């Protein structure tokens, strides 16, 4: 009984970590790093993903956070960075706020 409950909690934590990492990183790149030239480097998503993995990796001592959760969080942050950079290149950020 408890094994299935713990495995469901691990699955939920993994999904939340991946989606949360993607959304937070994408919005951070779009809003805060739009004037930083280094974010447009092709290595920026890779560096963001590796750093995100390294940040979450010490938390794998907890029973709900596993190495797979840290890996999914790293991939989510990497894809979020890439999505934010693509939005910056397209110019679909919402610069109309400056006109108001």
Residue 62 lies in a domain: yes
Q: How far is CA 15 from the centre of its chain?
A: 12
pLDDT of 93 higher than 90: no
Residue 100 lies in a domain: no
pLDDT tens readout for residues 34-59: 899 999 999 999 999 999 999 999 99
pLDDT tens readout for residues 67-91: 999 999 999 999 999 999 999 998 8
Residue 14 lies in a domain: yes
User: What is the count of structural domains for the chain?
Assistant: 1
Q: What is the rounded CA–CA span in Å between residue 67 and residue 94?
A: 37
Residue 98 lies in a domain: no
* pLDDT of amino acid 44: 96
Residue 85 lies in a domain: yes
Residue 45 lies in a domain: yes
Contact 72, 17 (CB under 8 A): yes
Helix (H) or strand (E) holding 78: helix 67-90
Range of the domain at 15: 2-93
**CA angle, residues 65, 69, 70, in degrees to nearest 5:** 100
């Amino acid at each position: 009984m408890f094994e299935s409950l713990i495995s469901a909690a691990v699955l939920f934590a993994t999904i939340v970590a991946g989606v949360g990492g993607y959304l937070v990183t994408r919005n951070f790149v779009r809003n805060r790093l739009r004037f930083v030239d280094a974010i447009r480097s092709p290595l920026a998503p890779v560096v963001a993903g590796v750093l995100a993995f390294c940040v979450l990796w010490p938390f794998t001592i907890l029973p709900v956070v596993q190495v797979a959760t840290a890996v999914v969080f790293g991939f989510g942050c990497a894809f979020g960075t890439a999505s934010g950079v693509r939005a910056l290149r397209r110019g679909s950020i919402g610069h109309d706020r400056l006109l108001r």
